[in-house]
Amino acid sequence: MRYTAEPAFVLHARPWRETSLLVEVLSAAHGRLGLVARGVTGPKKHALRAALQPLQSIRFDAVQAGELARLVAAEAVDAAPVLHGDPALAAFYAHELCLRLAPRQVPQPELHLAYAKLRERLRAGDTLAWSLRRFERDLLESQGLGLPLDHDVDGAPIDPAARYRLDPENGPCRLRSARGGEWREAATGRALLALAADVLPAPDDLASLRLPLRAVLLHHLGGRGLKSWDMLGELGRLRVPQATGR
């Protein structure tokens, strides 16, 4: 199969053999693709290497021969967001989710659009947690794994004042007890309704979405977590002495 001027986003690139790169991209029409870019280490290949950096929007030509396609040409469509610190880690997290959950060579128009929106939100400096929760919601939807957010597993409307555990297969399960760790790690009804309506919730409600959605993702990841979660945990531990020292 031949790809010509195919639009895509670069998710990951790593050295492959001595002078080449193995590049993972996300296209709308063909989904996630693995590309072998041969001979890109020379000085005359600087523009090509720059186009193959994560977050970059590109158009590429390639020939598919087996699981991996041979890259023929690639050019940058725009300037990728320049990210540092937490936004850069958020992008790494989004890329890792795509690599783990999106199958190769399956059309992904909804995921491609969701990624494009996240990329621009990161560029604009939007609220990071809200940008990620929206991307997680949209990624799950794109893979046919989305959950109802306006009613619970019994069909009852979500109560804004209640708390809910997210069953990965069935959706929100209302908690009846107001005690224990399960209650603290459950999403508020207000947060679920806000996510369903795509309206930014209050900070405490927004924070309540993180762990329930992570549990859903972990289920669909087969119980094997993400490197970015480990990095976030380590970053949090490093920040504790700084925070308590002020």
What average pLDDT does this structure show over 5-19? 91
CATH number of the structural domain spanning residue 58: 2.40.50.140
pLDDT value at residue 42: 67
Q: Which of 181, 77, 204, 45 is nearest to 189 (CA)?
A: 204
Confidence of residue 46 (pLDDT cuts 50, 70, 90): confident
Q: Identify the pLDDT of residue 185.
A: 85
Question: Is the same domain home to 66 and 97?
Answer: no
Does one domain contain both 104 and 53? no
The residue ranking higher by pLDDT, 196 or 66, is 196
Q: Side by side, which strands form the sheet with 163-167?
A: 171-174, 163-167, 187-188
Instruction: State whether 68 and 91 are in the same domain.
Output: no
Residue 17's Cβ-side half-sphere holds a number of Cα atoms within 13 Å equal to 7
Band the pLDDT of 165: cuts 50, 70, 90: very high
pLDDT over 60 (residue 235): no
Using CB atoms within 10 Å of the CB of residue 228, give its burial: 0 to 12 exposed, 13 to 18 middle, 19+ buried: middle
| Claim to verify: residue 170 and residue 67 sit in the same structural domain | no
Output the domain CATH number for residue 102: 1.20.1440.120
Q: What are the tokens at 27?
A: 């296209």
Shared domain check, 71 and 89: no
**Domain hosting residue 200, numbered range:** 85-244
**How many structural domains comprise the chain?**
2
Tell me, yes or no, whether 14 and 52 share the same domain: yes
In the chain, the amino acid numbered 126 is D
Residue 38 clears pLDDT 50, i.e. is over it: yes
What is d(CA 66, CA 70) in angstroms, rounded to the nearest whole number?
A: 10
* pLDDT on residue 246: 36
Residues 116 and 66 in one domain: no
Last residue of a domain, one of 53, 76, 99: 76
Q: Which residues contact 196 (CB under 8 A, 6 or more apart)?
A: 149, 150, 158
Is the same domain home to 123 and 163?
yes
Each residue's pLDDT tens digit, 78-89: 999 999 999 999
Among 130-134, 179-183, 202-206, the range scoring the smallest mean pLDDT is 179-183
Q: Which string of DSSP letters, residue by residue, matches 24-42?
A: EEEETTTEEEEEEE-S--S
Last residue of a domain, one of 30, 49, 76: 76
